[in-house]
Amino acid sequence: MVKRTPSSSDDTVRRLKIKLDKYKRKYKRLRAHAHIKEPSHPVIKIENACSPNARRRKFDSLEKCLRQFEFSPPELNRIYHALGMALKTPELMGRRGKTINAVVIRVAIPSLPISDIVNKCGVSHNTLNAVSKILYKNVTF
């Protein structure tokens, strides 16, 4: 076996500086091309019942789910209010985002047919019924 001689510290520092410059340029380029999207929902202050990342993921999945329906602004306000209440409910912390979103839509808009919610959100009817019982106890309009 041939042992490799360690490179000099100047060489290592130079290589690290080149890598650092490369990542800085890439970061600046990505920031320059990023389009900042304004949230389409009202800002809701939510207590720390779940982590900020989980909260963000659930709001993002709600956005995806809402694209399949057409709601008026008052209905959207009811949905976002119900989601805020759902994220404060400890019993729902282990549930998937799409399950919570489907239940929030069902609770906020009771006139919407359950079969539409089941088909468009990808949640089973039994799950929807079980989780909606929990949410009905905690949501007030």
Q: What is the pTM of this model?
A: 0.60
pLDDT at 114: 92
- The torsion region of residue 122 among left (phi > 0), alpha (psi -120 to 50) and beta comes to left
Is the pLDDT assigned to residue 107 strictly greater than 50? yes
Candidates 1.20.1530, 1.10.287, 1.10.472, 3.90.1200; correct CATH number of 52-138? 1.10.472
Which one has a higher pLDDT value, 124 or 7? 124
Q: By CB neighbour count within 10 A (0-12 exposed, 13-18 middle, 19+ buried), where does 103 fall?
A: buried
Going from N- to C-terminal start, the domains of the chain cover: 52-138
Q: How confident is the model at residue 46 (pLDDT cuts 50, 70, 90)?
A: very low
Where do runs of H (alpha helix) occur along 34-124? 52-66, 73-87, 97-108, 114-121
Find the mean pLDDT for residues 59-73.
83
